Amino acid sequence: MTTASAYDVEAIRREFPVTAKMLYLDSAFQTPLATSVRERLMTFYDEAHYNAGPKLVWLERLGRVRTKIAELLGAAPSEIAFTKNTSEGLNIAAHALQWNPGDNVLLVEGEHPNNTCAWLGRRKAGLEVRLVPESRKWVDDETFRRFADDRTRAIAVSHVMFHSGQRNDLERIAAFCRERGLKLVVDGMQSIGVLPVDVKKLGIAMFAAGAHKGLLAPQGIGVLYCDKALAATLEPEYVALSALANPPADLVIGPSPFEFAEGARRFELGNYNHAGVHALDASIDLIRSAGVPAIAEHVLNLGDRLIAHLDELGIELVGPRERRHRSHIYVLALEPGRWLRHLAQRGVRVSQVRGGIRVSFAMFNTVQDVDRLADILRT
């Protein structure tokens, strides 16, 4: 069983006091707050409390965080917008991309409900939503080929499925989209900060993610990537002053046409979640201290160790076993009602999903965590 890590896991672990209180294996639901993130939040609240909020300082910091997010995804800062969550980003995509009545978009059956809902909500505008069955434990171009036709305009897919942990083959799906001239919209909620993603290399049109999982920030802040060339052709469904390229100094908007901001910023509305942005500033620093490739390798190594234990215990893994199709999420085919109680009584935090009990690793989990879980399952 591979166990070595390319970064100091114990040093990272000390950032997360929750690990001393419980066996936390639920980062696909929400990650605990790191000490450095909490301290950055307190800086923000102290400034708001004692200085009535230095907004210009906060906006300068926001620009810095926008750049950090862009670097994480292989994008330009102008291609990053701040949102509330993944759902908002996916809805922006579903409303902004250009359709004609009778056009269709392809999704996988059993996708995350917020991805599915974003597109189903466009049926009233004449968009057909085709839900494609899965034939394997992961999704690639072959999943979609026979369902695409000359009216297909986009494929919307999760990079990592929340209910199985499968890592879908974005490279092959993106190649198929280029071949057919389709837009690829990705739900990156379960992969950002955990698995490497290069949106430019893949040719992703739009990528939406919240920040309260792999990005280690609190709920209420998310990010949206939109390719700059594509964004120039799109108009946002909702418009605010922040979406304009050159807002007037006197803040008076007349009837004359206005120009939207370059790139993804045209999708931003009003005041920012500055607290969330401050949290992201610290959490991305923590992620970069280890490096996303090293984090990915670490959680996959923990998965190797977990699978070996599951084989020894005779417990089935719901998702794929192959490393290239796995992620940090491992679903155990165990009856949730009984097992959730059993694990909770022993200080283990996991989640129930469709196929059973979901175990999800983060950068702070260790091989000792995996072995302790196996011992508890063995009882």
Q: State how far the Cα of 88 lies from the Cα of 229, in Å rounded to an integer.
A: 21
Q: State how far the Cα of 348 lies from the Cα of 221, in Å rounded to an integer.
A: 27
Q: State how far the Cα of 120 lies from the Cα of 105, in Å rounded to an integer.
A: 10
Neighbours of 54 (CB within 10 A): 12
Average pLDDT for the chain: 96
Q: Is the CB of residue 31 less than 8 Å from the CB of residue 212?
A: yes
Q: State how far the Cα of 153 lies from the Cα of 263, in Å rounded to an integer.
A: 21
Q: Which residue reads 């809805």 in tokens? A: 91
**Predicted local distance difference test score (pLDDT) of residue 135:** 83
The DSSP symbol for 212 reads: S
Query: pLDDT under 50 in the chain at which residues?
Result: 2
Cα 223 to the center of its chain, rounded Å = 9
Helix (H) or strand (E) holding 24: strand 23-24
Tell me how long the chain is.
379
- E strand residue ranges, 63-217: 80-83, 104-108, 128-132, 152-158, 183-187, 206-210
**Predicted local distance difference test score (pLDDT) of residue 113:** 96
> What number of H helices and E strands is found in the chain?
13, 12
Domains of the chain are: 9-32+291-378 (3.90.1150.10), 41-288 (3.40.640.10)
SS3 of 155, please?
A: strand
Q: Is the CB of residue 212 less than 8 Å from the CB of residue 115?
A: no
Model pLDDT for residues 37-52, shown as the tens digit of each residue:
999 999 999 999 999 9
Task: Work out whether strand 104-108 and strand 128-132 pair parallel, antiparallel, or are unpaired.
Answer: parallel
**Predicted local distance difference test score (pLDDT) of residue 224:** 98
